[in-house]
Amino acid sequence: MALGALLLAAAGCDAPPQGAGAGGPAPGPEVLEAWETVYSVLQHPRCANCHPRDRRPTQGDDRVPHAQFVEGGASGRGVPGLACAGCHRDSNLGPAPLAPGAPGWRMPSERLGLVFQGRSSGELCRQLRDPRRNGGRTPEALLEHGATDGFVLWGWDPGDGRTPVPVPHDEFLRALGTWIEGGCGCP
């Protein structure tokens, strides 16, 4: 589906919060199913490794601590002497275990947080629909991020020796659009 059509579909996240504990009407099954697809992508190691539970990225399909206990620091770009850019470049250096790459390689800043690892489906759903906890994004901006962001796209092109995200990218976008259109309902 074209990004434009998805953006048009994305007006609905302003609906009152739905789902467990929110007091609104229960979200429909197709909205919850779409969310579970989105959730499975967010929890995939290609995404979750850069969205760890603390300030240290993880690596590999097992999401083990990054070699040398690399830290994101406040900016997410690393700490003095061990900046992400010291090893990660604009593109993959080669097959694993060579460093993967995309322009501006970093993890989210400390201020943004954006922790995915360790979040249950309901927790991550409510986090992502909350502009105070999703990097200040409108639903439209979330969709655009999913469609065009270099780190997101890398998840489908991580280089030899790394498992790409198994859900096709356009299916991920469709699911994100369905979830938003359905009012961002959460389990």
Spell out, one character per residue from 145 to 174, where the chain touches ligand HEC: x when CB under 6 A holds, - when not.
x-----xx-xx------x--x---------
Out of 9, 41, 115, 147, the only residue in the binding site for ligand HEC (CB under 6 A) is: 41
CA distance 58 to 60: 7
Q: Which of residues 62-101 bind ligand HEC (CB under 6 A)?
A: 66, 68, 70, 72, 76, 78, 82, 84, 86-88, 96-97, 99-100
31 binding ligand HEC? (CB under 6 A): no
Stretch that binds ligand HEC, among 4-12, 15-23, 27-35, 131-139 (CB under 6 A): 131-139
CB-CB contact of 117 with 48 (8 Å)? yes
Chain position carrying tokens 């609104």 = 24
Q: How far is the CB of 16 from ligand HEC (least distance, A)?
A: 22
Residue number, 26 or 74, with CB nearest to ligand HEC = 74
Quote the tokens at residue 79. Answer: 């700490």
Choose the binding region for ligand HEC from 3-11, 20-28, 103-111, 178-186 (rule: CB under 6 A).
Answer: 103-111
Q: Rule CB under 6 A: choose which of 35, 39, 105, 179 binds ligand HEC.
A: 105
How far apart are the C-alpha atoms of 144 and 3, rounded to whole Å?
A: 7
Distance, in Å, from the CA atom of 141 to the CA atom of 161, rounded to the nearest integer, reads: 31
For 53, other C-beta atoms within 10 Å of its C-beta total 13
Cβ neighbours of residue 111 under 8 Å, at least 6 residues apart?
74
